[in-house]
Amino acid sequence: MHVLSTIRLLCILVTALICCTSPVPGAAAQAAPYLVEIADVAGGQELAALLSGKGVHAVIAGRNMWVVDQQSNCAVWIGKQVPLELLRVVLPEAMRLNPHLKFFHVVGDRGEVPPARVDQTVHVGGSIEAALSKHLNPLDPKELLNVLERVKTLDQLHQYLHEKNIPRTSPGT
C-alpha cells in the first residue's frame, strides 16, 4: 500500500512538473513586445547583432526597391509606444553605425493611423523619399543624442521630434 501511494505521489508530481514547465500554447510564437527592424544596408547586420547582444529583439527587414544604401535609407520611424529606455539603447548605436541617419519621426505624429504593431517598432533605415514626402526636417544627430540623454519622459522626446519636424516654410510664403 505504501509503495502504491509513493508511486501515485510521484506520478502527480511529474504531471504537475510537466504542466507547470510547458510553455503556454502559442507563447513561443509570440514576438517580443518591441521590435527593431533594420534596413539591409551597410552596417545593418552589425547593428542587429549588437542590439541582439543587448537583449533587444532586432531583425533585418526584407529587401525591397526602397532599400539602396545608407545615404538613401537615412530615416528612423519610431513607434509611439517604444519606451524611452529602448530608444536610448537603439538610437546612439544606429547613428554610430549609419552616420547618414538624419530624419527621425514618431509614426502617427501627423495623424496617420498605422497598424497597431508599428506602435511598438523602431524602423532604422527608412527611405529618404518617404521622409521628404512627409516634409520631415533633417535633425542634427548630436543634438538629438543630447536631447535623448536629457529628457525625462517619452512624451518629452516625442514633443521635441514633433517640433523639429514642423514643415518649414520658405521665406516670403
Radius of gyration of the chain (CA): 23
- Does the residue 24 lie in any domain? no
- Does the residue 1 lie in any domain? no
Over its length of 173 residues, how does the chain's per-residue pLDDT go in tens digits?
444 343 443 333 333 333 333 333 333 233 458 999 998 888 889 999 999 999 999 998 877 766 777 778 899 999 999 999 999 999 999 999 999 999 999 998 888 888 888 899 999 999 999 999 999 999 999 999 999 999 999 999 999 999 999 887 655 44
What's the whole-model pTM score? 0.76
Distance of CA 37 to the CA centre of its chain: 6
**What CA–CA distances, in Å, run from 139 to 13, 56, 91, 133, 160?**
60, 25, 13, 16, 11
Domain count, the chain: 1
Q: Are 119 and 158 in contact (CB under 8 A)?
A: no
DSSP 36-102: EEE-SSTTHHHHHHHHHHTT--EEEPPP-TT---TTT--EEEE-TT--HHHHHHHHHHHHHH-TT--
- Does the residue 39 lie in any domain? yes
Q: How far apart are CA 7 and CA 28, in angstroms?
A: 33
Q: Are strands 121-126 and 75-78 parallel, antiparallel or unpaired?
A: antiparallel
Q: How far apart are CA 59 and CA 88, in angstroms?
A: 18
- Does the residue 27 lie in any domain? no
Residues spanned by the domain of 116: 35-164
- Does the residue 152 lie in any domain? yes
Phi, psi of 124 (to 5 degrees): -100, 120
- Does the residue 170 lie in any domain? no
